[in-house]
Amino acid sequence: MSDSSSIRKDERFDVVVIGAGVIGLSSAYHMKSENTDLRIIVLDETGAAGQGDTAKSAGAFRNVFTSDVNRLLAGSSIDFYGHIQKDLGFNLDLKYSGYLWLLADKQFRRLENVVESMRREGIQLRIWEKKDLKDMINGVNLEFGENDEEAGIIKAENVVKGLQGIKCGVVSPDLIAKFYEQEFRKIGGTIRYNTKVGSLLLEPRARLGIPSEPLIWQDKKISGVKTAAGTIVADTVVVAAGCRADRLLDPIGIDARFRPRKRQIFSLRSPKIEALLNTKGFNEYDMLPFTITPRAGVFIRPEPTERGFWVGAADELGRSFRFEEEPQAERDYYTYSIYPVLSKYFPQFMDVSPTNMWAGLYDVNTLDAIPYLFEEDGAIVVSGLSGSGIMKADAVGRMVTALYEKKEYANLYGGKEIRVARLGINERDVGIERFVL
Ligand SMILES: Cc1cc2nc3c(=O)[nH]c(=O)nc-3n(C[C@H](O)[C@H](O)[C@H](O)COP(=O)(O)OP(=O)(O)OC[C@H]3O[C@@H](n4cnc5c(N)ncnc54)[C@H](O)[C@@H]3O)c2cc1C
């Protein structure tokens, strides 16, 4: 079957999904599996599943959040991914290798109450003493003398504790996308790659043949999409176009409610850092968890298949909101921003340079960093994944399905329910995320 076969003029489907990233594919799969009679087509301008920001992700996941919505979305999605791998036998390269926050005194005190309340709700957390961390993590530097000028300049704080999230770890976003793609096709879903949606079709519900329709007094509806190969008419258009959603929604006056912001990952390989990969005591894989330093949100993600690490940082103030067609990683950003912090806490990274690097865009919801999901005149918009779309994609796909079916509640994997309007605009109710380090 050819994915790029040409489209007849005015094809008709029940649902068009724009975007074959994790969000679009999870949504398409769940909608179709709820009602296999539905005619659903997924369109993507790239040539394969998950080639947008899904492919740029660090593929890390965690259920450690203070917002109950975040815990529900991520927790149930992680359980579903675990089920795919363990029970369905589809390898996602998922490892519950943990998240490890190295905490300075102030951070730890601020989090103490939050940690207790999360524990009461069943989130598995483990606190490590500084001594344990020193014993377990090869060569880690947790304390800096007063005469350490470099540490003073970058304000490297002493680590007092480690906080480990247990149901956290790493997964392959590519394999998650492939799983949904495969399952969607098995039940009769259609996917067309190399097909760019140029615009959404906004039409009057009853066309009169007057110039400039739809006019302000006409009932109107998004009734499909235009592509270079023709028009596809549909009752519902799901806009799951990631950081490009505003390009489709702005022209018809719908606010996608996110700002694009670049994030970068640097891949490092060297015999000097290999010993750090094999860190015992944190998990069954004897590997270092996804670890975050107290300063500047610098993280290191073990990548055992490459015998190395992926490294990045959470840069916010100073990093512009800007759409870039092909965002590029900046070597200087590694050298001058990340490296000084990284090599201070993990001296084995000293003089190690990236062998590979890439960048993508976060679709940042600047209000609360939790996804938006709303319906507007024939379009279902899912946006603002804010850098955690992989770990929430299954739950978001189920919520898109519930919204499409006009259900008040979505059933998440594992049996919990969530009111769909909680992610919407008018009745938004997502709690407060305080677990931002
Ligand atoms: C550097 C980086 C690290 C990240 N790390 C993590 C992480 O560790 N954990 C995590 O959970 N999340 C992470 N994320 C976030 C995660 O990658 C995203 O939240 C997630 O991929 C969003 O999926 P999506 O389907 O919404 O977007 P995308 O994967 O971008 O999919 C949108 C698709 O729509 C298609 N499209 C857009 N416009 C059109 C059009 N007009 N016509 C046809 N097709 C169109 C695109 O080609 C694309 O394939 C990271 C992101 C970045 C950039």
Statement to judge: residues 265 and 286 lie in one domain:
yes
Ligand 1 atom 53: residue of nearest CA = 360
Statement to judge: residues 106 and 130 lie in one domain:
yes
Residue with tokens 């992989």: 390
Statement to judge: residues 267 and 178 lie in one domain:
no
Among residues 180, 289, 295, which one has the least CA distance to residue 240?
Answer: 180
Q: What angle (nearest 5°) sits at the alpha carbon of residue 308, between those of residues 141 and 50?
A: 125
In sequence order, which residues have a C-beta less than 8 Å from that of residue 235 and are 6 or more positions away?
14, 15, 223, 378
| 406-420: pLDDT as tens digits | 999 999 999 999 999
Residue 434 has pLDDT above 80, yes or no: no
pLDDT at 1: 40
In sequence order, which residues have a C-beta less than 8 Å from that of residue 210 and are 6 or more positions away?
none
Lowest mean pLDDT segment, chosen from 5-14, 103-112, 165-174, 193-202 = 5-14
Statement to judge: residues 345 and 377 lie in one domain:
no
pLDDT at 436: 67
pLDDT at 9: 58
Answer with the residue of higher pLDDT: 166 or 297.
166
Residue 274 in tokens: 């290999």
User: Do the domain assignments include residue 428?
Assistant: no
Pocket of ligand 1 (CB under 6 A): 18-24, 43-46, 50-54, 56-61, 196-197, 240-242, 244, 248, 263, 265, 360-362, 385, 387-391
> Which residue range forms the structural domain that includes residue 279?
99-166+260-362
Beta-sheet strands, E only, within 11-57: 11-18, 40-43
Specify the number of domains making up the chain: 2
Last residue of a domain, one of 362, 391, 408: 362
pLDDT at 4: 43
CA of 51 to the centre of ligand 1 (A): 8
When pLDDT is cut at 50, 70 and 90, the band that residue 7 belongs to is: very low
Residue 435 has pLDDT above 90, yes or no: no
| 314-372: pLDDT as tens digits | 988 899 999 999 999 999 999 999 999 999 999 999 999 999 999 999 999 999 999 99
Statement to judge: residues 274 and 379 lie in one domain:
no
pTM beyond 0.85, yes or no:
yes
d(CA 398, CA 77): 10
Find how far residue 301's CA is from the centre of its chain: 16
pLDDT at 33: 98
When pLDDT is cut at 50, 70 and 90, the band that residue 432 belongs to is: confident
Rg of the chain over Cα atoms, rounded to whole angstroms, equals 23
Q: Which atom of ligand 1 is nearest to the CA of 24?
A: 25
CA of 136 to the centre of ligand 1 (A): 35
- Residue 152's domain is classified under what CATH number? 3.30.9.10
User: Do the domain assignments include residue 402?
Assistant: yes
CA of 164 to the centre of ligand 1 (A): 27
By residue count, the chain amounts to 437
Return mean pLDDT, the chain: 95
Q: Is the peptide bond before 214 cis (omega within 30 degrees of 0)?
A: yes
Statement to judge: residues 128 and 210 lie in one domain:
no
CA of 13 to the centre of ligand 1 (A): 24
Last residue of a domain, one of 343, 362, 381: 362
Helix axes of 22-34 and 389-404: crossing angle, nearest 10 degrees: 40
User: Do the domain assignments include residue 138?
Assistant: yes
Q: Which atom of ligand 1 is nearest to the CA of 51?
A: 49
Residue 437 has pLDDT above 70, yes or no: no
Mean pLDDT, range 277-296, rounded to an integer: 95
End-to-end CA distance of the chain: 47
Collapsing DSSP states into helix, strand and coil, what is residue 119? helix
Ligand 1 atom 3: residue of nearest CA = 57
Statement to judge: residues 277 and 297 lie in one domain:
yes
Secondary structure, 3-state, 265-303: EEEEECHHHHHHHCCCCCCCCCCCCEEECCCCCCEEEEE
Statement to judge: residues 266 and 125 lie in one domain:
yes
Residue 5 has pLDDT above 70, yes or no: no
Amino acid at 358: W
User: Do the domain assignments include residue 287?
Assistant: yes
Q: Judging by beta carbons within 10 Å of its beta carbon (0-12, 13-18, 19+), is residue 391 exposed, middle or buried? A: buried
Q: Categorise residue 155: left if φ over 0, alpha if ψ from -120 to 50, beta otherwise.
A: left
CA of 404 to the centre of ligand 1 (A): 22
User: Do the domain assignments include residue 69?
Assistant: no
Q: Which atom of ligand 1 is nearest to the CA of 195?
A: 43
CA of 37 to the centre of ligand 1 (A): 28
User: Do the domain assignments include residue 142?
Assistant: yes
Mean pLDDT, range 252-273, rounded to an integer: 97
Ligand 1 atom 44: residue of nearest CA = 44
Ligand 1 atom 4: residue of nearest CA = 57
Q: Which atom of ligand 1 is nearest to the CA of 390?
A: 11
In sequence order, which residues have a C-beta less than 8 Å from that of residue 224 and are 6 or more positions away?
16, 200, 201, 231, 232, 233, 234, 237
CA of 52 to the centre of ligand 1 (A): 5
Q: What angle (nearest 5°) sits at the alpha carbon of residue 114, between those of residues 118 and 364?
A: 90
| 183-210: pLDDT as tens digits | 999 999 999 999 999 999 999 999 999 9
Last residue of a domain, one of 362, 381, 399: 362
CA of 355 to the centre of ligand 1 (A): 23
Contacts 24+ apart (CB under 8 A), 422-429: 422/69, 423/69, 423/370, 423/371, 423/372, 423/373, 423/374, 423/399, 424/372, 424/373, 424/374, 425/257, 425/372, 425/374, 429/69
Cβ of 120: how many Cβ atoms within 10 Å?
A: 8
| 116-155: pLDDT as tens digits | 989 998 999 999 999 999 999 999 999 999 999 999 999 9
User: Do the domain assignments include residue 3?
Assistant: no
Ligand 1 atom 16: residue of nearest CA = 389
Q: Which atom of ligand 1 is nearest to the CA of 358?
A: 1
When pLDDT is cut at 50, 70 and 90, the band that residue 10 belongs to is: confident
**Exposed e or buried b for every residue in 76-112, given b needs 16+ CB within 10 A?**
bbbbbbbebbeeeebebebbbbbbbbbbbeebbeebe
- Residue 373's domain is classified under what CATH number? 3.50.50.60
| 358-404: pLDDT as tens digits | 999 999 999 999 999 999 999 999 999 999 999 999 999 999 999 99
pLDDT at 80: 98
d(CA 330, CA 235): 43
CA of 174 to the centre of ligand 1 (A): 11
Among residues 156, 124, 132, which one has the least CA distance to residue 143?
Answer: 156
User: Do the domain assignments include residue 83?
Assistant: no
Q: Which atom of ligand 1 is nearest to the CA of 383?
A: 26
pLDDT at 3: 44
